Amino acid sequence: MLTQPTQLIIIGGGPAGYTAAIYAARAGLNPVVYTGPQPGGQLTITGDVENYPGYRNGVLGPSMMEDFKAQAERFGTIIKEGTIVKVDFSVYPRLLILDNGQQVTAQAIIIAAGASAKWLGLPSEKRLYGRGVSACAVCDGFFFKNETVVVVGGGDTAAEESLYLSKLCKKVHLLVRKGQMRASNIMQNRVSSKENIQIWFHTEVKDILGQETVEGVQVIHVKSNQLDVIDATGIFVAIGHQPNSAPFLPYIAVDDHGYIQVTPGRTHTNISGVFAAGDIQDIRYRQAVTAAGTGCMAALDAERFLQDQSVDSIFKNL
């Protein structure tokens, strides 16, 4: 049996979701946040965050997300555990199905379910995450200033990460699994022209070395099957991100990479009353501060939508 429709449901408990909740709650929209499988988003498995405004001494990722959550709750946001696994956007109010089988409906929805970094799948990678293993050079590169690091990947993202790190680090080793990069020609040229970036083709990561922190990367040269060790204090995995948009298909329009498409400069999706914010619609920046910004935008867009719905209802009843 379906419960009474909620005015606004926000899917995702990261910077975008909580910022949307803060704005929506202050506007009297009584938002309900479903935090998803990773409450707090990717920042909960991040160490020091030093590039988010307002924290002049930096802050631990989990602590920052607790601050976001507490601020949202202060204004009356209801926060619930649970993951949306399926939707029916052909009906109104919109129907959402949770992982426990519960069905809920909402007049407006903000999708802020984020994106997940793709990983190599090594046990050492998981064990040393946040202690030398990262998926974001902009987030963590500062901690490796004047040190030697490894970047894994052959696309534009890996090239961008390598170029960014080359400005901070003494040496950058770029590992490319195939005999050529997939990055655009201009990005390949930029990487090749950097003296402190060394490209290793036909090379894969065998293991990440170190007990408490990263001390090196064991690689295998796939053509010769020879093992090698690169001394490094950090490894940046840049093999792509996967937006968590699968539960919203086939209703929500996505691009070729699965990122939700929104109206340029706004957060409207192709479904009326459904908005998207944060990394799930952002293939380019993927930063906490940009996610928070789009969360604000989505809340304002949802507020306007719900106001228009109320006005329409009034005129229909006249």
For 172-198, give the DSSP string.
EEEE-SSSS--S-HHHHHHHHH-TTEE
Distance CA 133, CA 140 (A): 9
Q: Which two tokens stand for residue 64?
A: 């920052």
Number of helices (H) and strands (E), helices first, in the chain? 7, 19
Which 8-state DSSP code applies to residue 313? H
In this prediction, residue 315 carries a pLDDT of 44
Output the pTM of the full model. 0.80
- Largest Cα separation within the chain, whole Å, is 80
Alpha-carbon span 119 to 265, nearest angstrom: 31
- Confidence (pLDDT) at 117: 85
Query: What pLDDT is attached to residue 40?
Result: 72
What is the model's pLDDT at position 317? 46
> pLDDT tens digits for 182-240?
999 999 999 999 999 999 999 999 999 999 999 999 999 999 999 999 999 999 999 98
Q: What is the CATH code of the structural domain delimited by 6-117+241-316? A: 3.50.50.60
- Check residue 312 and give its pLDDT: 62
Distance between CA atoms of residues 309 and 305, nearest Å: 6
Positions annotated as catalytic residues are 136, 139-140
Place of tokens 């020879």: 226
Give alpha helix (H) positions in the chain. Answer: 15-26, 61-74, 123-127, 137-140, 156-166, 185-193, 288-316
CA distance 143 to 59: 14
Q: What tokens does 172 get?
A: 């950058």
CATH of the domain spanning 123-237, picked from 3.40.50.2300, 3.90.550.10, 3.30.70.3270, 3.50.50.60:
3.50.50.60
Where are the domain boundaries for CATH 3.50.50.60 in the chain? 6-117+241-316, 123-237
Residues of the chain with pLDDT under 70: 1-3, 44-47, 311-318
